[in-house]
Amino acid sequence: MLQPNDVVELTCGAPGHGGFVVARHEGRAIFVRGALPDERVRARITEVKKSYARASTVEVLDASPHRVPEACSAAAAGAGCCDLTFADPAYQRELKASVLRDQLRRVGGFAPAFFGPEWDTVVQPLSDAPVAGWRHRARLVADGDGSLGQHTHRSDAVVVAPCAQLPDALTDLAAGLRAEPGTEVALVLDDAGAAHAAVPARRGRPAQVLAGDALAEYRVGARSWRIPVGGFWQAHRDAASRYAQWVGAYTSRFGGEPGRAWDLYGGAGVLAGALVDEGFAVDVVETSGGAIAAGKQTFAGAPVAFHRGDTASRIKGLPSPAVVVLDPPRTGAGAAVMAEIAAAEPRAIVHVGCDPAAFARDLGAACENGYRLAELDARDAFPGTHHLEAFAVLVPGREDRRGR
């Protein structure tokens, strides 16, 4: 019987959702990290469940032609940061596209035939930025000696080693800092070129600045925001501006005459800015008081209203929208929120999603409530990892290309 720490030889199959490939051993599915499709590997079993097990590659016996030398020192030492930096970047995007298609089919209910030439789900680069050093904000944790590093995969152990995602400025900053063991530290290289580090504020305790300032400056177009170092902003340095650009373009194509718009899970209003630029008055719904405060400062005098609270409850009293933009957390918006959005009968729903399964589930829910998919795109906003960012535009109409 398979046990943790057993080392087994496996032939790897398709990528799965979560940064692994799927192999089989004695009738059981094995989710293997550190391997690519069609590789033969020796892998150590790390977890055993009734119907599946998890494993980590310890030796590659037959390598994929897409395998390259590991680019992340932290990942090589076991950190859970970069789980695809041993594959060439173009092939990373192919794997992500495969996972997205699979989730749209299995979770969203879209028929395989749906993905023909019109809907070729290719994951494109986010920008022309290098695939290393792209992350301008990160959270590290102090090990037993106070040095900053990252947790190993599915563990509280900490690896202190350079991560390929971080620019040199943040790697150097982290190397010079110390904190109490177990303390989480937020790092930011902001759009003014300043590096900051802080222990984020917690209930009853203010933020503790370790380097730089308490607020980081971010810019999108002519607008700027001052956000607490531990507050949310997109991880990739180009993401916020590109997302705003694409949301503006989608709104221009599908939104019709400017009117009212909703920006749900809206943070400090980056996507609201794109809607304002298209002539819309915007209602932003957000749970974070800090994000709302920053957004109100940026949008003083603009037709933007911020509403603090849970999306499901706050949208019930909002004016009817012509366009709805939502960028929910990794768990997605959920069927109830998607049904409420559809009930408001917007001309277009623009969905931005960072988790393929949740994204697919939300799109399926929209289709169940009288909307159809009009546009689909995906971008590699997290190079070297299994994560991606997906974009969809839904418009009124029944979808006839879903196979349930």
H/E element, 71: none
Closest CA to 108 of 95, 99, 118: 99
**87 vs 35: CA distance, rounded Å:** 9
**195 vs 184: CA distance, rounded Å:** 17
**46 vs 32: CA distance, rounded Å:** 10
**How many CA atoms within 13 Å lie on the side-chain side of 82?**
28
Burial pattern 175-214, b for ≥16 Cβ within 10 A else e, equals eebebeeebebbbbbbbeeebbbbbbbeeeeebbebbbbe
Whether 59 has a binding-site annotation, put simply, is no
Residue/partner pairs of 394-398 with CB below 8 Å, 24 or more apart: 394/348, 394/349, 394/351, 394/363, 394/366, 394/367, 395/254, 395/347, 395/348, 395/349, 395/371, 396/345, 396/347, 396/370, 396/371, 396/372, 397/370, 397/371, 397/372, 398/367, 398/370, 398/372
Whether 234 has a binding-site annotation, put simply, is yes
Structure tokens given for 290: 């800090």
Closest CA to 359 of 385, 392, 337, 310: 392
Strands (E) across 255-370 are located at: 260-264, 281-286, 304-308, 323-326, 348-353
Whether 399 has a binding-site annotation, put simply, is no
Sequence-separated (6 or more) residues with CB below 8 Å from residue 119: 373, 376
Q: In degrees to the nearest 10, what's the CA dihedral of 108, 109, 114, 115?
A: 50
Catalytic residue among 72, 82, 163, 354: 354
Residue 72 annotated among the catalytic residues of the structure:
no
Whether 243 has a binding-site annotation, put simply, is no
Closest CA to 99 of 18, 197, 29, 172: 18
Query: At 328, is the secondary structure helix, strand, or coil?
Result: coil
Closest CA to 337 of 308, 370, 314: 314
- Active site positions, annotated: 354
The binding site comprises 234, 265, 286, 327
The binding site for S-adenosyl-L-methionine comprises 234, 265, 286, 327
